[in-house]
Structure 1
Amino acid sequence: MNQDEALSLRQRGVILPLEQFIERALRLHPGARLLEAELEEKNNMYVYEFELLTPQGVVRELKFDASSSKLLKDEDD
């Protein structure tokens, strides 16, 4: 999904702000670095997907429902 589509969804209140999810993902894994962030549509649901690199060198994949902020996945990638 491109930036314009994501901005339109945000402005219409369909999804919550990306920054909110980045902060939450980093709070779940203190000291981790954000490697990748993207917004995807899956099964009529918008999902923020993140890859984090933990201080231990482990890559974690996190997924959040972009509308409700529910954590859908948090596991080693």
Structure 2
Amino acid sequence: MKRNMFLKSSNWRNMLKTFKISLTTTMSNQNQSNLQMSSFSSTMQRSVTSIINTINLSTMFQQNLNTLYSTLE
């Protein structure tokens, strides 16, 4: 009887260990996923900033050209 109880508790312990390992792996994967999203978001932000800077530079260049043309006229 005692041996049978021990086996059951041992199985229970193994199940808990397996659950803990599974949970830890899930949390690790979630953290990895969050890091990847953060990296992607950061890259997108840099890209958008770069595009906006390019537009601003081209606008400034266009304004300078307009000023130059009006001066030459």
TM range (shorter): under 0.3
Select the structure that is richer in helix. 2
Highest RCO, 1 vs 2 (Cα 8 Å, sep ≥ 6)? 1
Query: What's the TM-score once normalised by structure 2's chain length?
Result: 0.22
In terms of fraction of residues, the more strand-rich structure is 1
- Higher Cα radius of gyration: 2
